[in-house]
Structure 1
Amino acid sequence: MTSSTPRRTVLAAALAAAGTAATAAPAVAAVPDRAARRPGADPASAGDAGRGHAPAPGLVDNRFWASYTDWRCGSAAGTRAVAGHRPGLVLAAPAGRTDYTDPHTGRTSAWEYAVWTSPEHTPTVPAAEVIASWNAHTPPGTWLQVELSGTYTDATATPWYVLGRWASGDGDIRRTSVDDQTDGRSTVWTDTFAIDDTASGLRLASYRLRLTLYRAPGSGLTPTVWRIGAMASDIPDRFTVPASGPGLARELAVPRYSQNTHVGQYPEYDNGGEAWCSPTSSQMIVEYWGRRPSAEDLDWVNPAFADPQVCHAARFTFDHQYEGCGNWPFNAAYAATYPDMNAVVTRLRSLTELESLVRAGIPAITSQSFLKEELTGAGYGTSGHLMTVIGFTADGDIIANDPASPSNEAVRRVYRRREWENIWLRTKRYDANGKVRSGTGGVCYVYWPHRPSPTQRRALQDLGLA
């Protein structure tokens, strides 16, 4: 059973073998028109203080810029901070003009642009991996690019790496990651910056994010960015993780959608529903928070298809370079296109942290890989799959809305705590042939409204997310 398109997760051996040719992509350079596939991935078988940052002792550090004060920090060339109930960053006066040739359409267009660069951030943990995420609105005629540059622990610098070229629509540019970015010491794997040889001890000591806003020349339009930041982490290699004790019994009323009811629909988006675990999960959480696409938004979907909003989510999370809907930041960015929604990609260090979110009424979307026999009751194995954790039983077992189900009614599953905990938090695993593969090490998406309840805000602040 195929439950997901193959995901890129960090595998040190694959990184070391990935090559050492340095390529630093210019701001709007064309990229090779081929799908990014992580070497070694198995095919699918089914230092700042302030708002937005709280120290996470060991392993994981989150830093997000989202306040009016945040947007006035760093350096700006043509951008402007705007106040209001949801502060943001806009393109005020173009800093320049450039041509961009879209590698997926071959179309060359001229664009005005402005640039904001974050202050340098020193994570509480020197990082083996960094995953950025952003929340923005890009009206037609606009788009944005996110980049990262940093300093290694040996005081040398990385190039500027492109972490995404993104628009909420798909009429101006094709939403895309960028392949073949490496300096021989670190590499960008679709949506993840990773140190090539973690055994060497090299890590990323600090980083900056660069945000470039684009608009059609003379249009006066602007993207609006409400949040940008990154999760930096250094998760040790591990095939197993310590068992935790149950601490919560609660179940959230999250809508249930099956990806498999969409098999064969819109195959241009990663072969149809069989690979839509990520957008299906994202749509469940968007609707849990009371948001959904309008009837006008769904006009393009065949009216014979049930749950057209799942097709909509697949289309607008699709990464044309990766050729899939499983780009982590693109899913978060999609969720945040709905009114007053925040969304980030992060890692949690334990099942206890996930319980704290659920206790506060916040479900989370988790990424995991496993053999069929490793997760009792799943009925499939996968090299990368997203599911939505909506609660815990009195015994501490996981209640998940698993989109790899035959129907919406069958989506709710209960998985054994110890099995699920291990497959989600480990970084190493064995495939069906006994080869060592990678695990995601606790990656998850967290989505929440701009004005959460006090309990929800405390839970998010404890994780450095709000």
Structure 2
Amino acid sequence: MTSSTPRRTVLAAAVAVAAGAVVTASGGPAAAVGGASRPKQGQQLVDNQAWTSHAQWRSGTANGVRAEGGPRPGIVIAHPAGTTVYTDPHTNKTATWEYASWTSPEHHCAVPATEAVAHWNAHTPAGTWIQIELLGTYSDGSATPAYVMGRWTAGDGEDDIRRTSVDGQGDGRSSISTDTFAIDAPAGGLRLASYRLRVTLYRPLGSRLTPTVWRLGAMASDIPDRFTVDASTPAYAGELEVPSYSQEIHKGQYPQYDNGGEAWCSPTSSQMIIEHWGREPDPADLAWVDPSYRDPQVCQAARQTYDYQYKGCGNWPFNAAYAATYRELSAVVTRLGSLNDVETLVRAGIPAITSQSFLASELTGAGYGTSGHLMTVIGFTEDGDVIAHDPAAPDDPAVRRVYRRREFENIWLRTKRHNASGNVASGTGGICYLYWPAHPSPKQRKALAAVGIR
């Protein structure tokens, strides 16, 4: 009813200890689950890396791009490095494109990883697009394929390609599932030891336009499977002012975008946070929406995050990239380790969009079960319970919910669960979208650094 279609194994996260780098475990030892024990205090679990500064852009390998300074440094096409022909699999249109590329320095993972998720923040004028690739090295020294992590454009007009993930990528040792790199058989010990990210900027032949990329990064992780996580101790009470939008009022609207509003939990949550930061679509952007529909900006968010290959609006990096199409917003996909991490962010004014899957009996007051659902954590009660804006509500006034802390934390952070049939299924593992001002306040910067984001 409300879920985004599950499409990949996800791992858990934990507490960050250094700005932009390593995340560590927050809990003590526990009973083994499927041969893997819960991580111990201080164990490194997640590695976050991003390139954002002028110096960092200059440190990579440029092939036709130029690093620009200013208040928000980035890269643009300086001159075409060549041309390429691309046939869009979703429109069957073939066109010739000019391109230039930038490849990051090699990043050695502090956490040799079983999974990695890339993210990017970019401006793509109509008719332009970018492609992000991960070029990895395994722990045995051999190389991964050049994996496409996404082809992105903010537009979907006549001259735009269709934004898309790329299926069918793998070498028998690792593979890409929509937006996530994963080692196929992690029990064998193989890991992703390092990687470079390559972003290629495309524009029409003979054009003077250029995409601008402000942020490029990835999160790598290696988390043991677990059905339960240790409970955190409440440390903050407070609530942010965030708009309330229901996905359910859009049921049946624009079914070409992920079968309509019933599956729009991710873009609905994204839109709530975008507007929390004072950004919203221009009236011209909403002109295509039936004027009888309420909250047309939610329809716009669904259209702008739709992945034409996945056939859904739940692609994690695509949602972050959409948020960053609003100038002066930054966005990432990351993993957190406890609700204490979310408290740190909310205290600084930063809500968190969390992904969880659960039976109806596992989240008191939800009234539904789901194999994957996004909602926004906006605060905490005096008792430490979670104040969430849950877009699965029947209407906007019912979006604000209070969920029991222990239940919410476990369904969000676990990596294994039992589904309605009693079979073992994947948990969502602490996945989180974070959107914040591109020029954060010192308090916001400190909070982001505390959870591993810089």
> Is the TM value for this pair above 0.5?
yes
The reply to whether residue 84 of structure 1 matches residue 39 of structure 2 is no
Any idea what SS the aligned residue of 1:367 has? Answer: strand
Any idea what SS the aligned residue of 2:275 has? Answer: helix
Q: Distance in 2 between matches of 1:403 and 1:325?
A: 14
Task: Report the TM-score, using the length of structure 1 for normalisation.
Answer: 0.90
Deviation at 1:9, TM superposition (A): 3.0
Q: Distance in 2 between matches of 1:201 and 1:395?
A: 42
What is the CA deviation profile of residues 109-153 of structure 1, one whole-angstrom value per residue up to 9, with x for unaligned ones?
110000100000012111111000100000012100000011111
Counterpart of 2:115 (choices 99, 115, 129) is 129
Q: Distance in 2 between matches of 1:5 and 1:359?
A: 29
Tell me, yes or no, if the aligned pair for 1:99 and 1:108 is still in contact at 8 Å: yes
What residue identity is the alignment partner of 1:65?
A: W
The reply to whether residue 410 of structure 1 matches residue 398 of structure 2 is yes
Q: Distance in 2 between matches of 1:349 and 1:160?
A: 30
Q: Distance in 1 between matches of 2:412 and 2:4?
A: 17
Aligned to 1:95: 81
The reply to whether residue 352 of structure 1 matches residue 351 of structure 2 is no
Q: Distance in 1 between matches of 2:23 and 2:61?
A: 26
Deviation at 1:392, TM superposition (A): 0.6
What is the CA deviation profile of residues 22-70 of structure 1, one whole-angstrom value per residue up to 9, with x for unaligned ones?
xxxxxxxxxxxxxxxxxxxxxxxxxxxxx97333341111101011011
Deviation at 1:154, TM superposition (A): 1.2
Q: Distance in 2 between matches of 1:462 and 1:231?
A: 15
Report the RMSD for the aligned CA atoms in angstroms. Answer: 1.2
Counterpart of 1:316 (choices 304, 312, 326) is 304
Give unpaired runs (5+ residues) of structure 1.
13-50
What residue identity is the alignment partner of 1:56?
A: V
Counterpart of 1:143 (choices 123, 126, 129) is 129
Aligned to 1:35: none
Give the 5 Å matches for 1:109-258.
109-171=95-157, 172-258=160-246
Tell me, yes or no, if the aligned pair for 1:54 and 1:462 is still in contact at 8 Å: no
What residue identity is the alignment partner of 1:54?
A: A
Deviation at 1:99, TM superposition (A): 0.6
Deviation at 1:11, TM superposition (A): 6.7
Counterpart of 1:59 (choices 13, 33, 45) is 45
Aligned to 2:27: none
Q: Distance in 1 between matches of 2:235 and 2:151?
A: 41
Aligned to 2:350: 362
Task: Report the TM-score, using the length of structure 2 for normalisation.
Answer: 0.93
Q: Distance in 1 between matches of 2:323 and 2:142?
A: 36
Tell me, yes or no, if the aligned pair for 2:360 and 2:366 is still in contact at 8 Å: yes
What is the CA deviation profile of residues 235-271 of structure 1, one whole-angstrom value per residue up to 9, with x for unaligned ones?
1100000111111101000000000000011000011
Q: Distance in 2 between matches of 1:414 and 1:11?
A: 25
Deviation at 1:209, TM superposition (A): 0.4
Any idea what SS the aligned residue of 1:271 has? Answer: coil
Tell me, yes or no, if the aligned pair for 2:238 and 2:347 is still in contact at 8 Å: yes
Tell me, yes or no, if the aligned pair for 2:19 and 2:448 is still in contact at 8 Å: no
What is the CA deviation profile of residues 350-384 of structure 1, one whole-angstrom value per residue up to 9, with x for unaligned ones?
22111111111100100010011110100000001
Aligned to 1:306: 294
Q: Distance in 1 between matches of 2:10 and 2:180?
A: 12
Any idea what SS the aligned residue of 2:110 has? Answer: coil
What is the CA deviation profile of residues 273-327 of structure 1, one whole-angstrom value per residue up to 9, with x for unaligned ones?
0000000000000000000001111111111111000000000000000000000
Aligned to 1:32: none
Tell me, yes or no, if the aligned pair for 1:11 and 1:438 is still in contact at 8 Å: yes
Work out the percentage of aligned pairs sharing the same amino acid.
69
The reply to whether residue 462 of structure 1 matches residue 429 of structure 2 is no
Give the 5 Å matches for 1:44-55.
53-55=20-22
Tell me, yes or no, if the aligned pair for 2:10 and 2:428 is still in contact at 8 Å: no
Aligned to 2:33: none
The reply to whether residue 372 of structure 1 matches residue 360 of structure 2 is yes
Any idea what SS the aligned residue of 2:286 has? Answer: coil
Q: Distance in 2 between matches of 1:52 and 1:244?
A: 22
Q: Distance in 1 between matches of 2:361 and 2:269?
A: 23
What is the CA deviation profile of residues 190-238 of structure 1, one whole-angstrom value per residue up to 9, with x for unaligned ones?
0000111111111101011010000001111100000010011111100
Tell me, yes or no, if the aligned pair for 2:128 and 2:203 is still in contact at 8 Å: yes
Any idea what SS the aligned residue of 2:143 has? Answer: coil
What residue identity is the alignment partner of 1:127?
A: A
Q: Distance in 1 between matches of 2:225 and 2:4?
A: 24
Any idea what SS the aligned residue of 1:173 has? Answer: coil
Q: Distance in 2 between matches of 1:150 and 1:396?
A: 41
Aligned to 1:290: 278
Q: Distance in 2 between matches of 1:440 and 1:61?
A: 18
Q: Distance in 2 between matches of 1:91 and 1:259?
A: 38
Counterpart of 1:394 (choices 374, 382, 385) is 382
Aligned to 1:39: none
Q: Distance in 2 between matches of 1:278 and 1:404?
A: 11
Aligned to 2:256: 268
Q: Distance in 2 between matches of 1:462 and 1:419?
A: 24
Q: Distance in 1 between matches of 2:206 and 2:23?
A: 44
Q: Distance in 2 between matches of 1:443 and 1:56?
A: 13
Deviation at 1:349, TM superposition (A): 1.5
What residue identity is the alignment partner of 1:252?
A: L
Give the 5 Å matches for 1:440-451.
440-451=428-439
Name the CA shift for 1:9/1:247 in 2 (closer, same or farther; >3 Å): farther
What residue identity is the alignment partner of 1:206?
A: S
Give unpaired runs (5+ residues) of structure 2.
12-17, 25-43
Deviation at 1:463, TM superposition (A): 2.2
Aligned to 2:8: 9
How many residues align? The count is: 427
Q: Distance in 1 between matches of 2:110 and 2:451?
A: 13
Q: Distance in 2 between matches of 1:414 and 1:264?
A: 28
Q: Distance in 1 between matches of 2:56 and 2:408?
A: 38
The reply to whether residue 431 of structure 1 matches residue 419 of structure 2 is yes
- Runs of 4+ more than 4 Å apart: none
Q: Distance in 1 between matches of 2:152 and 2:21?
A: 28
